Amino acid sequence: MPTKKVTSTETEIEQAVEKGSRVAVRTAATISKAFDKMVADLPMYAARDMAAVCLVRELSRLQPTWMRQIMDDHYTREAYEASIAEIPATPGRTDF
């Protein structure tokens, strides 16, 4: 079976994609820890959904381009839906 010759451009693209994935995974872990800290810092009777609304408002002010991408982009929504579909069902789970 003939092997495909990989050009340096293809290699550079693959390396960039791998690095982008590593950066995204690291950033997601950091954001996840920040969410956990936010929830832990809430007063006992504070509503998590209200905190989420405040968070979205603040992020929209600080990072309008990213928030627009997250909220409006078709591919971003597809990625979210595909990710949620991959999470095993747990009885009583309501955090997604």
59 CB-near residues (< 8 Å, 6+ apart) = 66, 67
Task: Quote the tokens at residue 69.
Answer: 């991408």
pTM above 0.75, yes or no: no
Tell me the pLDDT of the chain (96 aa) as tens digits: 566 665 678 888 888 889 989 999 999 999 999 999 998 899 888 888 888 899 999 999 999 999 999 999 999 999 999 998 888 876 665 555
52 CB-near residues (< 8 Å, 6+ apart) = none
Cα–Cα–Cα angle for 72, 78, 83, nearest 5°?
120
Nearest to 51 by CA among 89, 73, 26, 43: 43
Task: Quote the tokens at residue 73.
Answer: 């982009």
